[in-house]
Structure 1
């Protein structure tokens, strides 16, 4: 039993090693053999029924002919003349081709038979009621042999029952019937085998053409490797057909794009994806490293169209989560901004020290004292103005540093007279510092290069529900048709083609949206509103 079980996988392995044509041929030949077997069984059964029906009628006619002969009546009516029955029965058997013609008296004892040992024994009747004066045909088994028989009663001229005549034809065995049908079955099997071979070759050739010449086990191996690869890589992968229907989406892609588990087979319209994401996935937005804001995540997407036989069959898009990278980039930008601020302050202090050193060399000591008091007062007034209006230390320090940076590039950064901001929770203060820094940097970029006179105004307002921020610059402002685009995917009007460019506004919107607020732009004025309480449905993501 153990060896038998172990042999089954071996047979399956051997079958799997057959080529596609061989597998189709083996399958079709197997089906042909089964069909021919069924046809043979049905044919034998029908032939058997036809044999019984035809032979029953013929044997009944022979039995009636024998029973109507005068010699049979005389032989049964006069025991002394029973000798004439055997020649009469043999003559009828030889003429009719029956296996046996047996005549019995009313005692059922056989008086004539082609087999001498059968004379004197009782005639096997089966279900026959011939001795009740009724003719009968049917099948009788005697001594292991099955025969189709006909029983006919014999009556005298006066109508008295004298005996019966039984005519039988031995039924051919199953082997004989199959042997008789074998030549035809072999012919059918040969024709079917030839047609099956040709059909298998043509079908396999067509299928292999559609499967790029790959065998089934190769296709299975490719599918298994593809599934392992798709679900093993960290990047998200989304495949679309030419009707924008999702054909594959690995776990990372479903998580990043918040796709349902049954996304495969559904179109992008059914899933109601965001317009920017729709444009990138369908190829309306072209280019490498397309940035998309999906919920509270920043993604970079790369789309590759699939073309087979000069015909587009869909596309594959890979994506990476840039949320953490954007946070690191912003931290780098913040560090760079702080470095620039310190450099500006160092430059300013260096110039002031040069002035003081020059006055000392000239011996203008009273002027040195006056100059020191002047610059100290200016810095003190600038710091006092910010601290008096902004109670949060981190935000106040940011605004003071940005003011020094603006002064270096020939611009002026100031708080509006009606600005007022009280103490803030730690998380809100961190988010507000990020939003303010991004908007101020964007405003300073807008007035950079415009020469002296550039202005950046910051207005802060606070109530029990939200903090409101307005940043206005003297630059050209944002065109109305770009008012939404600048936030959607890190849009930038700078000439440099750099992924890090324009991320500040995208991060700003992401932070505001996460807390349940919003940010808008109207010309040169950006307005942001950040609720004091984080929205309950917002998810925690890494932010600068």
Structure 2
């Protein structure tokens, strides 16, 4: 994976502004390329035509050469006088007549050793003719290629045999091969017309296609297109926010470096469907939800196993046509932790407010009794308040040795009582003094779970919240409420979602349980929700001993 600096170094040197001097435009290059292809095709067609014409010439004219040679060899005077010392003069008229009638170029009579005895070209008399590849030297008529004075020719040869079949001489009639242009002309004038018409149409189509390419690329040249692509990659991968683009088929088309880090993905996720990637189910559902064309009007908070992500989705269009969605995401883990701490402080403030209200009512009662002169009643009332406060403090401190957690439980007891809910500490609970950092995390876990339990238990018959702490092996924090419980299909979703656009302080119902799961995951633990034995829900957080030892 390239770093943003590498992308920037690769992309920034490229500049726009059209084709440089001496460099042909993209449309021009394409036109030249197409014309070269057309030329190659035309040459190939011409070569095939020449080859076919050559084969046709060889077959037709070869048989003609054999016929002329047979006719000459069967002439009586030729058979009688071919061995005469003056045969070149005596048989010259007959040999010339055979050439004139057949259209051949050369007719000769050769003895079995290959010496030319008679020829239409007097200068060849006495020369040698290669008969090594000819079947005529063995008594059979033959036609084929022959090299005559360095000229590639087609020859037909027929033997002159005696009554015993012995070859006495060979009659050879030859004609040079025509040129390629002559062969093309012989193939018909229409072929040349077709070739010319094909070249013209191909050139016109290539020109029109090059114009279309120029319009679609908006006049940009190859270097400019490459520069834009590299600029896009450099900017996209330099953005601190995660960017994920998904097309209408649910396939990931863009995934920048930040998104890969936030979602724990690799480059191979691009080009695959969202539901085929190892994504948190809530994130996958959010990315695919854009298929209905609706944008996410506000930032949606999704809590994965390790992070708190704020996601925002928008539809992507091209030339007025919808092509998918683009989702941006920010890592709000640190902000969520701060929100959790703020929520804890707010909880303490609310507890102090509740206690202030409670103390104010008690002081008003004492003041009324004093004014009535009921001093014995004042003594009894103050004693009862002192004993009840001491009982709550003693119950908590006997089970919980950590001062911060004990203080939280005492304060939450008063706050729950104001809401008409009884907060009870399980008598089997036990918690030793904790490291300050771990104590802060436990307060976050416990505070959010108790707040959630009190909220759902308020207004129920015999509202009750039970807290159990156990540090025998690792640590277990359980909070049971008397509310309506959590349906099975929602037990994962309640830990995953929240909305940051809430008017109240974030960290309430929207993200409180999400913070519980996040803090649990950071401590290497898990959180789950089950049905409580007497109705309601039971939230349990389990932290392993190994991670707790790191805070000791």
TM over 0.5, shorter chain: yes
Aligned partner of 1:282 among 282, 285, 288: 288
Distance 1:534 1:49, change over 3 A: farther
Answer whether contact 1:470 1:525 (CA < 8 A) is retained.
Answer: no
Provide the C-alpha distance between the structure 1 equivalents of 2:167 and 2:486, rounded to a whole number of angstroms: 125
Corresponding position: 1:418 with 2:427: yes
How big is each residue's C-alpha offset from its partner over 1:250-306, in whole Å with a ceiling of 9 and x where there is no partner?
A: 343344334465433433343475553343212279432112122232211111123
Q: Secondary structure at the match of 1:127?
A: coil
Tell me the TM-score normalised to structure 2 length: 0.73
Q: Mean Cα displacement is larger for which, 335-344 or 47-56?
A: 335-344
Corresponding position: 1:515 with 2:522: no
Answer whether contact 1:239 1:315 (CA < 8 A) is retained.
Answer: yes
Corresponding position: 1:464 with 2:472: yes
Q: Secondary structure at the match of 1:125?
A: coil
Provide the C-alpha distance between the structure 2 equivalents of 1:333 and 1:443, rounded to a whole number of angstroms: 15
Answer whether contact 1:519 1:528 (CA < 8 A) is retained.
Answer: yes
How big is each residue's C-alpha offset from its partner over 1:409-460, in whole Å with a ceiling of 9 and x where there is no partner?
A: 7878754473642315537644321112223444676799x9xxx9875533
Answer whether contact 2:145 2:153 (CA < 8 A) is retained.
Answer: yes
Report deviation, 1:165.
Answer: 2.5
Distance 1:215 1:118, change over 3 A: same
Aligned partner of 2:245 among 235, 239, 245: 239
How big is each residue's C-alpha offset from its partner over 1:486-527, in whole Å with a ceiling of 9 and x where there is no partner?
A: 833455899737655422221123334651342458799663
Q: Residues 485-524 of structure 1: matches in 2 within 5 Å?
A: 487-491=494-498, 496=503, 499-501=506-508, 502-512=510-520, 514-519=524-529
Distance 1:204 1:73, change over 3 A: closer
**Number of aligned residue pairs:** 513
1:323 maps to which residue? 333
Q: Residues 400-479 of structure 1: matches in 2 within 5 Å?
A: 400-402=410-412, 415-416=424-425, 418=427, 420-423=429-432, 425-426=434-435, 429-442=439-452, 459-462=467-470, 464-465=472-473, 466-470=475-479, 472=481
Report deviation, 1:462.
Answer: 2.6
Tell me the TM-score normalised to structure 1 length: 0.74
1:18 maps to which residue? 25
Corresponding position: 1:397 with 2:403: no
- Stretches of structure 2 that go unaligned for 5 or more consecutive residues are 1-18, 367-377
Q: Secondary structure at the match of 2:118?
A: coil
Report deviation, 1:28.
Answer: 2.6
Distance 1:375 1:213, change over 3 A: farther
How big is the alpha-carbon RMSD for the aligned residues of Structure 1 and Structure 2? 5.0
How big is each residue's C-alpha offset from its partner over 1:323-370, in whole Å with a ceiling of 9 and x where there is no partner?
A: 1210122223334555666788899999999999xxxxxxxxxxx999
2:255 maps to which residue? 249
Which of the pair has the greater relative contact order for Cα pairs under 8 Å at 6+ separation?
2
Q: Mean Cα displacement is larger for which, 285-294 or 173-182?
A: 173-182
Distance 1:482 1:175, change over 3 A: closer
Q: Mean Cα displacement is larger for which, 479-488 or 247-256?
A: 479-488
2:310 maps to which residue? 300
Report deviation, 1:321.
Answer: 1.9
Q: Secondary structure at the match of 1:151?
A: strand
Provide the C-alpha distance between the structure 1 equivalents of 2:488 and 2:115, rounded to a whole number of angstroms: 119
- Stretches of structure 1 that go unaligned for 5 or more consecutive residues are 1-11, 357-367
Q: Mean Cα displacement is larger for which, 480-489 or 428-437?
A: 480-489
Provide the C-alpha distance between the structure 2 equivalents of 1:195 and 1:535, rounded to a whole number of angstroms: 79
1:531 maps to which residue? 542
Answer whether contact 1:231 1:250 (CA < 8 A) is retained.
Answer: yes
Q: Residues 343-422 of structure 1: matches in 2 within 5 Å?
A: 383-402=393-412, 415-416=424-425, 418=427, 420-422=429-431
Q: Mean Cα displacement is larger for which, 319-328 or 109-118?
A: 109-118
Answer whether contact 2:478 2:540 (CA < 8 A) is retained.
Answer: yes
Distance 1:131 1:442, change over 3 A: closer
Provide the C-alpha distance between the structure 2 equivalents of 1:131 and 1:419, rounded to a whole number of angstroms: 123
How big is each residue's C-alpha offset from its partner over 1:46-80, in whole Å with a ceiling of 9 and x where there is no partner?
A: 32232222222111111222222233234336546
1:332 maps to which residue? 342
Provide the C-alpha distance between the structure 1 equivalents of 2:299 and 2:507, rounded to a whole number of angstroms: 11
Report deviation, 1:395.
Answer: 0.5
Distance 1:517 1:488, change over 3 A: closer
Answer whether contact 1:305 1:316 (CA < 8 A) is retained.
Answer: yes
Provide the C-alpha distance between the structure 2 equivalents of 1:15 and 1:35, rounded to a whole number of angstroms: 29
Q: Secondary structure at the match of 2:82?
A: helix
Distance 1:105 1:464, change over 3 A: closer
Aligned partner of 1:60 among 66, 72, 87: 66
Distance 1:29 1:498, change over 3 A: farther
